[in-house]
Amino acid sequence: MSRTIGILTSGGDAPGSNACIAAIAARAEMRGIRVRGILRGFEGLAQGATIPLGVEVLGLARRGGTFLGTSRNGDLKGALGADNAQDAMQRCGVDSLIVLGGGGSLKAAAEFAGAGARVVGIPCTIDNDIPGTDHSLGFDSAVNKAVRAADEIMDTAESLPERLFLLETLGGTTGHIAIATAYAADADAVFIHERQWDAAAAAAHIKRKMDAGGSQGLVVCCENLGADQIARDLAAASGRRVRITSLGHTQRGGNPTYFDRTLARAFADKAFEMILAEDWNKMVAHTGGAVDAVSFDAVSSTKKDIDAAKYAAVNES
């Protein structure tokens, strides 16, 4: 049985992170097991920057972000320098490690595990692009915020007819947020990195709808696709004014939704059970409505597919 569990967030600053950390700390304190929070992710791990965690952090569970801080240092060897995994763990005073993060961070966790550390991973990114799990912490909160923005834009659109609205979501180079938002908000089109998109075709579809009496159009696009140029293309092809709303980092913050809080608790319970059972070097995952453990190989060996059915339902309607 582990004597002291370390928790770090590496890029895992999505809504639900704090709830998950707090749940682990509470479970551990009930069992008389110590927990140390590692500050600033793998950078803090290399520096031995830790704080003790107990039930006093429960009040932070409702907050977005991560009170431990984070880093995006995927160069684990560079961060550790000449140290090895055991040196870093010993310096932090922990003998097992729970890592909350996205795909790059979990790959680093797998590398750390391969170097001899006892590691359990928790998928934590609004992008929801981690293979092996249907949902990652923060995704539901980010999509809910985007759908709410789309609803509010459409409220405005009813008073300002003959306009086309372009909603730009986060997502990095993956379209999971954009697709989920577009599907739930009944958008006219969604543009993502994983598929070739055609602004002229989407604009022609929207123009036909509006010429027939529809008052407005809505297109959702993922960030880093060039929203300004897309807006110009849509305007030229539709003959309508186009207005852009870029959600930016509003999607990363804020209180987690009910689903993310529930998932955070379930992930925390499973990760803690795995630590007690010495079931190391795996990631907790939410698949088919249940929480289980999957090999780190599932994270690093493939790329998570988009929801092709929802993508088609938006673009082919």
pLDDT digit string, tens, across residues 99-116: 999 988 898 889 888 888
Structure tokens, 271: 């990760």
CA distance 308 to 72: 30
**Nearest-CA neighbor of 244 among 163, 134, 161, 138?**
163
What lies within 8 Å, CB to CB, of 296 at 6+ separation is 106, 107, 109, 110, 113, 121, 281, 282, 283
**pLDDT (tens digit, 9 = 90+) per residue, 209-234?**
888 877 789 999 999 999 999 999 99
- 207 vs 245: CA distance, rounded Å: 20
Gap between the Cα atoms of 192 and 202, Å rounded: 13
* Three-class DSSP category at 9: strand
Q: Among residues 164, 314, 138, 159, which one has the least CA distance to residue 231?
A: 164
In this prediction, residue 33 carries a pLDDT of 95
Residues 6+ apart with CB under 8 A from 280: 96, 113, 118, 119, 120, 274
End-to-end CA distance of the chain, in Å?
55
CA 70 to chain centre: 14
Pick the CATH number of 4-138+256-300 from 3.40.50.970, 3.60.70.12, 3.20.20.80, 3.40.50.450: 3.40.50.450
What is the β-pairing status of strands 282-287 and 119-123? parallel
Alpha carbon 203 to its chain's center: 30
| Type of residue at 3 | R
| Predicted confidence (pLDDT) at residue 123 exceeds the cutoff of 60 | yes
Neighbours of 135 (CB within 10 A): 20
CATH number for region 142-252: 3.40.50.460
Query: For the purposes of burial, counting CB atoms within 10 Å of the CB of 229, is it exposed (0-12), middle (13-18) or buried (19 or more)?
Result: exposed
239-297 pLDDT, tens digit each: 889 999 999 988 888 899 999 999 999 999 999 999 999 999 999 999 999 999 999 98
pLDDT digits (tens, 9 = 90+) for 148-198: 999 999 988 887 777 899 999 999 999 999 999 999 999 999 999 999 999
Catalytic residue among 127, 129, 188, 260: 127
Task: Provide CATH 3.40.50.450 ranges for the chain.
Answer: 4-138+256-300
The stretch 48-52 carries a mean pLDDT of: 94
Q: What's the average model confidence in pLDDT over 37-63?
A: 89
pLDDT of residue 64: 85
Which residue shows structure tokens 């006093």? 56
CA distance 64 to 25: 17
Is the Cβ–Cβ distance between 37 and 80 less than 8 Å?
A: no
Residue whose token pair is 């990631």: 283
- List beta partners, residue 191: 221
Q: What is the pLDDT of residue 60?
A: 85
Concerning whether 127 is annotated as a catalytic residue, the answer is: yes
Specify which residues 124 forms β-bridges with: 137
CA distances from 282 to 109, 129, 195, 255 (A): 9, 17, 31, 28
* Beta-carbon-side half-sphere exposure of residue 292 (alpha carbons within 13 Å): 9
Which residues make up the CATH 3.40.50.460 domain(s) of the chain? 142-252
Indicate whether 75 pLDDT > 60.
no
- 146 is written with which tokens? 């985007």
Residue 116 CB: number of other CB atoms within 10 A? 11
In this predicted structure, what is the pLDDT of residue 74?
54
